[in-house]
């Protein structure tokens, strides 16, 4: 997803050792939900059954089960067309720079069941890159085979395989950055954060084996490899964002989920380790993400829903090179650690009116050579979103199509290690402060 | 005088007996709170069942469920386990069915429901289901 702000500051450092220093500005993508009307038609369910705000992406426990069941649940009334369309318009008002109104995105979803055991989700997105020029990308893919209603040690079990292109997107809890589309804005984020530069999202392919045991215990183990750069290009992605050549990549997830019907809690661990050559002809670096997440939902009778989620992912890096800095004697550290954290709270009234508040922090080990100019990659931001989704409930005008109107304020406290002059402009040159990256965005989305 | 009093007493007893019998046989037998039951329905049932007539979800519509023979909601594809059950959804049957895991009550059913432990909620729910017609 490349939004206005994302594109505005997307830049790749010319010096390789700055690869981790400056990369991409925030990924304000939380409004492009994954509520797919094709699923509503397939199951007879309303959008609101799977998504607290009736438009996603945040899932209810029922939505999580639908996902784990491989998108195969049905109302049993014949085959439905497994396709849906979403159109987004935005008005972006940045704190600094020109405001814009545009038809920002049009998506086609191929989503639904093939059989009781096979189902999937494929999103093809057409993004407005400015001046009404559109770029088509293959976005998230999640194809599943699932064996349901198994018995293991006299307990219910489910085992499945997910073929996907975004580590964490297939997660049922829907708290990990890839699933929420709400990773912390960062200049040096973790592999599991799609907002990071040279992200794995949509540029890799992989498979994972997952299982749900006794309704509460979820485990997943998988591996990924990066797509050839030519294929990334064919799928609509710039080669400059190549995640590099990956090897020995392992993704693991373990979570405890408990659905009390009126409340839901989960606690999980996630890990991703890989060796990466970036650029592909260069030496190999070692990256390991380890994270945990906790979530809580109060659902009650669904009139007042509260969803809370906290995610903390740490990445340990053993860099491939230790370049020298601009001053003699300065040399980059051979190892480093970065942290991505997000705390999100959502309240939804009558499954229609909602507010979401997020606090996101990305921090890292001080390294004066890698993180120019201050040696700190630290970025801290907040977002406040107010939304209205009039349809998609059992008692609304339509249960299988929806409209979402939202406004979002995005506020930066710190970017690239500083609140002021974040890019270290020399005296007399125009400065960019963290607050200059703030933005107010109005979204209008329809899905049918 | 005493005979007249006796006749009145017998007639009163008969009417009371009829009333009690009607109450026992009616959907209101468990004297639940339909309004509270609507809330229970939203949290326990609504994801898979609609209260609307003809609206099937993952499970069949529960419109007019009380008194309906099992496995007969229009246009819903049931498992054999339920169509071969040959019972009618009386309030007592619903109470029996919903107070335990669905797959224990009806082995072979697709329905994944653990049952409702809270007796008041169960009474409220069944009372609410009795209003769906």
pLDDT at A174: 86
Q: Check whether A58 has a pLDDT greater than 50.
A: yes
Does B39 sit within 8 Å of A75, measured CB to CB?
no
Burial class (CB in 10 A: 0-12, 13-18, 19+), B6: exposed
Q: What is the dihedral of CA A15, A19, A21, A24, to 10 degrees?
A: 120
Residues in contact with A5: Cβ distance below 8 Å, sequence separation at least 6, in sequence order: A25, A26, A28, A92, A94, A410, A437, A439
Instruction: Write out chain A residues lying below 8 Å of B50, CB-based.
Output: 44, 394
* pLDDT tens for each residue of A431-443: 999 999 999 999 9
Question: Which option is the CATH number for B31-130: 3.10.290.10, 1.10.760.10, 3.40.710.10, 1.10.240.10?
Answer: 1.10.760.10
Kindly report the CATH number assigned to the domain that includes residue A296: 2.40.160.10
Work out how many domains chain A is built from and give that number: 1
CB contact B124 to A (< 8 Å): no
- Asked if A431 contacts A420 with a C-beta cutoff of 8 angstroms, the reply is yes
Q: What is the DSSP string of A176-238?
A: SHHHHT-PPP-SS--TT-TTSTT--TTTEEEEEEEEEETTTEEEEEEEEEEPPHHHHHHTT--
End-to-end Cα, chain B, rounded Å: 48
Does A262 sit within 8 Å of B57, measured CB to CB?
no
Domain containing A191 equals 4-447
* pLDDT tens for each residue of A331-342: 999 999 999 999
Q: Check whether A421 has a pLDDT greater than 90.
A: yes
Residue of B nearest to A394 (CA): B50
* pLDDT tens for each residue of A357-381: 999 999 999 999 999 999 999 999 9
pLDDT at A12: 34
> What number is the ipTM of this complex?
0.78
Least confident segment among A7-21, A52-66, A252-266: A7-21
CA distance linking residue A34 with residue A51, whole number of Å: 9
From A76, A301, A394, residue closest to B76, measured CB to CB: A76
Which residue ranges of chain B lie beneath pLDDT 50?
Answer: 1-2, 18-28
Q: Nearest Cα to A220, choosing from A212, A229, A228?
A: A212
Does A262 sit within 8 Å of B58, measured CB to CB?
no
A-facing residues of B in 47-86 (CB < 8 A) are 47-48, 50, 52, 55-58, 75-77
Residue of A nearest to B48 (CA): A45
A190: tokens are: 């973790």
Does A75 sit within 8 Å of B57, measured CB to CB?
yes
pLDDT at B8: 57
Does B57 sit within 8 Å of A45, measured CB to CB?
yes
B41: tokens are: 């329905």
- Asked if A389 contacts A397 with a C-beta cutoff of 8 angstroms, the reply is no
Distance from CA of A247 to the nearest CA of B (A): 41
CA distance linking residue A335 with residue B125, whole number of Å: 60
**Number of neighbouring beta carbons within 10 Å of residue A85:** 15
- Asked if A396 contacts A358 with a C-beta cutoff of 8 angstroms, the reply is no
* pLDDT tens for each residue of A309-322: 999 999 999 999 99
pTM of the predicted model as reported, rounded to 2 decimal places: 0.87
**Number of neighbouring beta carbons within 10 Å of residue A169:** 24
**Number of neighbouring beta carbons within 10 Å of residue A277:** 16
- Look at strands A439-447 and A83-94 and give their pairing: antiparallel
């Amino acid at each position: 997803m490349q939004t206005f702000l994302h594109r505005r500051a997307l830049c790749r450092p010319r010096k390789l050792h700055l690869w981790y220093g400056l990369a991409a500005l925030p990924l304000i993508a939380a409004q492009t939900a994954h509520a797919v009307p094709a699923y509503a038609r397939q199951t007879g369910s309303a959008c609101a059954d799977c998504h607290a705000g009736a438009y996603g992406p945040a899932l209810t426990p029922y939505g999580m089960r639908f996902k784990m069941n491989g998108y195969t649940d049905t109302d049993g009334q014949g085959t439905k067309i497994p396709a849906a369309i979403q159109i987004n318009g935005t008005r972006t008002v940045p704190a600094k720079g020109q405001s814009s109104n545009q038809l920002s995105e049009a998506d086609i979803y191929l989503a639904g069941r093939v059989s009781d055991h096979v189902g999937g989700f494929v999103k093809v997105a057409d993004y407005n890159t400015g001046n009404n020029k559109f770029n088509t990308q293959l976005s998230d893919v999640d194809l599943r085979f699932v064996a349901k209603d198994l018995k293991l040690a006299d307990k219910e079990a489910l085992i499945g395989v997910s073929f996907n292109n975004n580590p964490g997107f297939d997660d049922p809890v829907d708290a990990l950055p890839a699933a929420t589309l709400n990773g912390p804005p960062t200049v040096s984020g973790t592999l599991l954060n799609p907002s990071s530069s040279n992200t794995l999202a949509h540029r890799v392919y992989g498979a994972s084996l997952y299982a749900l045991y006794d309704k509460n215990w979820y485990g997943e183990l998988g591996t990924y490899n990066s797509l050839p750069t030519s294929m990334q290009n064919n799928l609509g992605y710039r080669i400059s964002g190549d995640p590099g050549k990956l090897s020995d990549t392992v993704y693991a997830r373990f979570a405890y989920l408990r659905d009390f019907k009126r409340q839901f809690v989960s606690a999980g661990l996630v890990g991703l380790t890989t060796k990466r050559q970036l650029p592909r002809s260069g030496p190999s670096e070692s990256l390991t993400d380890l994270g945990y997440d906790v979530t809580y939902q109060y659902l009650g009778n669904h009139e007042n829903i509260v969803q809370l989620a906290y995610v903390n992912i740490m990445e340990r890096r053993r860099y491939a090179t230790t370049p020298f800095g601009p001053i003699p004697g300065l040399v980059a550290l051979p190892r480093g650690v970065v942290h991505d954290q997000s705390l999100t709270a959502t309240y939804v009234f009558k499954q229609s009116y909602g507010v979401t508040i997020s606090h996101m922090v990305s921090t890292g080990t001080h390294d004066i050579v890698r993180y120019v100019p201050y040696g700190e990659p630290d970025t801290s931001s907040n977002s406040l979103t107010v939304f209205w989704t009039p349809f998609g409930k059992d008692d609304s005008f339509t249960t299988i199509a929806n409209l979402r109107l939202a406004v979002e304020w995005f506020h930066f406290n710190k970017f690239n290690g500083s609140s002021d002059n974040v890019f270290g402009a020399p005296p007399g040159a125009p400065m960019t402060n963290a607050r200059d990256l703030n933005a107010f965005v109005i979204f209008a989305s329809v899905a049918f | 005088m005493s005979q007249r009093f006796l006749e009145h007493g017998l007639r009163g007893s008969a009417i009371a007996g009829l009333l009690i019998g009607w109450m026992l046989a009616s959907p209101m037998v468990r004297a639940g709170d339909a309004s509270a039951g609507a809330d229970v329905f939203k949290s326990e049932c609504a994801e898979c069942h609609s209260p609307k007539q003809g609206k099937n979800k993952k499970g069949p519509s529960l419109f007019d469920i009380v008194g309906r023979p099992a496995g007969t909601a229009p246009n819903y594809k049931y498992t054999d386990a339920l169509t071969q059950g040959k019972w009618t959804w009386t309030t007592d049957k619903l109470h029996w069915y919903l107070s335990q895991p669905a797959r224990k009550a009806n082995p072979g059913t697709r329905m994944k429901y653990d049952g409702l432990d809270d007796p008041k909620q169960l009474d409220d729910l069944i009372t609410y289901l009795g209003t769906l017609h």
